[in-house]
Amino acid sequence: MNSRRNFIKKSAIVGAGISVVPNLTYGFSSKKDKLKVGLIGVGLRGTNHLTNLLQRDDIIVTAICDIDPARIKIAEKHISDKKHPKAQVFGKDDFDYKNLLALKEIDAIIIATPWLWHTRMAVDAMKAGKYTGVEVSAANTMEECWDLVNTHEETSSHLMILENVNYRRDILAVLNMVKQNVFGEMIHFRCGYQHDLRFVTLNDGKSAYGKGVEFGEKGISESAWRTQHSVLRNADVYPTHGAGPIAVMCDVNRGNRFVSMTSHATKSRGMHNYIVENGGKDHPNVKVNFKMGDIITSTIETAKGETIIVTHDVHLPRPYSLGFRVQGTKGLWEVDGNRIYIEGQSKKAHAWDEADEWLKKYDHPLWKKYGEHALGAGHGGMDWFVMNSFIESAKENIAPPMDAYDAAAWSAITPLSELSIENNGEPQDFPDFTRGNWIKRKPYNWMKDTY
Ligand SMILES: NC(=O)c1ccc[n+]([C@@H]2O[C@H](COP(=O)([O-])OP(=O)(O)OC[C@H]3O[C@@H](n4cnc5c(N)ncnc54)[C@H](O)[C@@H]3O)[C@@H](O)[C@H]2O)c1
């Protein structure tokens, strides 16, 4: 497979910025030599990946797997609408994905299933020799974090955590500013997942974002599986949209690392109140005890002496924000308020500049080149970039920008926050998933304009 992949040479995308052309053309000499991709889980997220894949002419969706026949039907329609060849179908039971993984011709796998399946499927995919992409968060427990790292090392198969926020336009512009030392030496960061998910984690079982207060067996899409985590765990169960971008800004696992963390949880009110207000005080779910605090706040210390505050806030009414703040010895960016202050460079001393001018000045080369095309792809364009990066890395079978060590370190926030909360905020040490190699590992070149 490696020699075949070498033949699938990566080359520059022809015709950058060609948003008027529906399908991007990739620099392949032969139509036969395409990356063969299998998708496990074609729910809402998997279908989004599928539609991005189907825009490309350097891939074949060889197989799809989902236990829900309705989702398979939707995926098949997308494939035939785009006039791609029919994909083999799997999903007769929970473990049919293993039969998909047994297909020798598949090069790369994308996993977009409920969280409790991620590590198991990623481990099996790496063992089957596939270039593996896994949705966020990658792991639920510390044991699973180690499973990802150990399997990557034992098999030499690559694992990429598909963290799309790392490709958000403002994030990449701010990363550019960090790399160019605009903020000086990095000191402090804030980030998190602050998203009122009550209309997703509770629904009517008919439509994913419908009204209703059902979950579990009576729910549909994320309410069928995600809500159970809020019932059973008092932890930050979704840390990577915030921690991923910040980890890259401070070179975690490549010259720096997460060292320890303390976490605290508030009381839990949001889900209960929503059920009473929308389902009535006699609805059976009124009796459900949600263990997860409405706001979980964790503070991470890094080896280089920075702190990172990570917030999980999904049960209360609020507008969406990942709450980023990136601060160094010379100034800072705050996403809320869209503002930047750089000492000696901002228009006035002790006063904010609007961030727009700065973000435009430091726009990332990737966004300059492909932004127009990417914007049509969902989630403000970042979904196109993360999939492009996965496919291009897989075509060359090289280490991805966000690898098994990153997947483990970022996902470890979940079990460590749970332990810290259970022990009244006691500090918890991060394992060194790189086994000392973080000292000499070089940062990935995030500033190139290819992927
Ligand atoms: N990066 C992002 O911005 C983003 C956005 C949404 C979701 N996600 C992540 O994507 C993943 C999927 O989320 P979603 O919203 O698509 O959920 P979903 O419930 O819509 O889709 C999950 C799919 O997995 C299928 N499935 C479950 N068990 C399976 C098994 N054993 N074998 C095969 N298929 C199985 C389900 O039938 C379902 O179709 C989650 O990890 C979620 O956190 C990420």
What does the pLDDT look like over 348-376, one tens digit per residue? Answer: 999 999 999 999 999 999 999 999 989 87
Check pocket membership of 41 for ligand 1, CB cut-off 6 A.
yes
Check pocket membership of 63 for ligand 1, CB cut-off 6 A.
no
> How many other β-carbons are positioned within 10 Å of the β-carbon of residue 209?
13
Half-sphere exposure of 88 (CA within 13 A, CB side): 16
The yes-or-no verdict on residue 247 having pLDDT over 80 is yes
- Tell which one of 42, 44, 162 to mutate to probe ligand 1, the residue whose CB is within 8 A of the most ligand atoms: 44
Cα(72)–Cα(62) distance, rounded to whole angstroms?
14
Question: What angle do helix axes 44-54 and 382-396 make, rounded to 10 degrees?
Answer: 70
Cα(87)–Cα(208) distance, rounded to whole angstroms?
26
Residue with CA closest to ligand 1 atom 33: 66
Cα(175)–Cα(166) distance, rounded to whole angstroms?
9
Q: What average pLDDT does the segment 111-119 reach?
A: 98
Check pocket membership of 89 for ligand 1, CB cut-off 6 A.
no
Q: What average pLDDT does the segment 29-41 reach?
A: 77
Residue 15: band (very low, low, confident or very high) from pLDDT cuts 50, 70, 90: very low
Share of the chain above pLDDT 90, in %: 90
pLDDT in tens, 57-84: 999 999 999 999 999 999 999 999 999 9
Half-sphere exposure of 114 (CA within 13 A, CB side): 17
Residue with CA closest to ligand 1 atom 38: 43
Question: Cα(66) to centroid of ligand 1, in Å?
Answer: 10
The yes-or-no verdict on residue 5 having pLDDT over 60 is no
pLDDT value at residue 310: 99
Check pocket membership of 94 for ligand 1, CB cut-off 6 A.
yes
Check pocket membership of 140 for ligand 1, CB cut-off 6 A.
no
User: Contact at 8 Å (CB) between 33 and 7?
Assistant: yes
Question: Cα(44) to centroid of ligand 1, in Å?
Answer: 7
Question: Cα(363) to centroid of ligand 1, in Å?
Answer: 32
pLDDT value at residue 443: 94
Cα(36)–Cα(150) distance, rounded to whole angstroms?
25
Check pocket membership of 227 for ligand 1, CB cut-off 6 A.
no
Question: Cα(303) to centroid of ligand 1, in Å?
Answer: 34
- H/E stretch holding 38 reads strand 35-40
Q: What average pLDDT does the segment 90-97 reach?
A: 98
Task: Enumerate long-range contacts of 90-95, CB under 8 Å, 24 or more apart.
Answer: 90/63, 90/64, 90/65, 91/64, 91/65, 91/66, 91/67, 93/67, 94/67
pLDDT in tens, 197-236: 999 999 999 998 878 999 999 999 999 999 999 999 999 9
pLDDT value at residue 234: 98
Tokens for 98, please give them. 């293993």
Q: Which atom of ligand 1 is nearest to the CA of 46?
A: 16
φ, ψ of residue 286 to 5 degrees: the values are -60, -30
Check pocket membership of 135 for ligand 1, CB cut-off 6 A.
yes
Residue with CA closest to ligand 1 atom 34: 66
* Rounded alpha-carbon distances, angstroms, from residue 42 to 86, 89, 103, 115, 407: 15, 11, 18, 14, 21
Check pocket membership of 131 for ligand 1, CB cut-off 6 A.
no
For 329-353, give one letter per residue: b (16+ CB within 10 A) or e: ebbbbbbeeebbbbeeebeeeeeeb
- String of DSSP letters for 19-33: TTSSSBB---S-TT-
Q: Which atom of ligand 1 is nearest to the CA of 115?
A: 41
Half-sphere exposure of 159 (CA within 13 A, CB side): 35
The yes-or-no verdict on residue 13 having pLDDT over 80 is no
Amino acid at 4: R
pLDDT value at residue 210: 72
Check pocket membership of 117 for ligand 1, CB cut-off 6 A.
yes
Q: What is the DSSP letter of 130?
A: -
Nearest Cα neighbor of 288 from 274, 304, 305 is 274
For the chain, the distance separating the N- and C-terminal CA atoms, rounded to the nearest angstrom, is: 22
pTM of the model: 0.94
φ, ψ of residue 326 to 5 degrees: the values are -130, 115
pLDDT value at residue 30: 39
Check pocket membership of 124 for ligand 1, CB cut-off 6 A.
no
Q: What is the DSSP letter of 86?
A: P
pLDDT in tens, 313-353: 999 999 999 999 999 999 999 999 999 999 999 999 999 99
Question: Cα(112) to centroid of ligand 1, in Å?
Answer: 4
Residue 8: band (very low, low, confident or very high) from pLDDT cuts 50, 70, 90: very low
pLDDT in tens, 400-427: 999 999 999 999 999 999 999 999 999 9
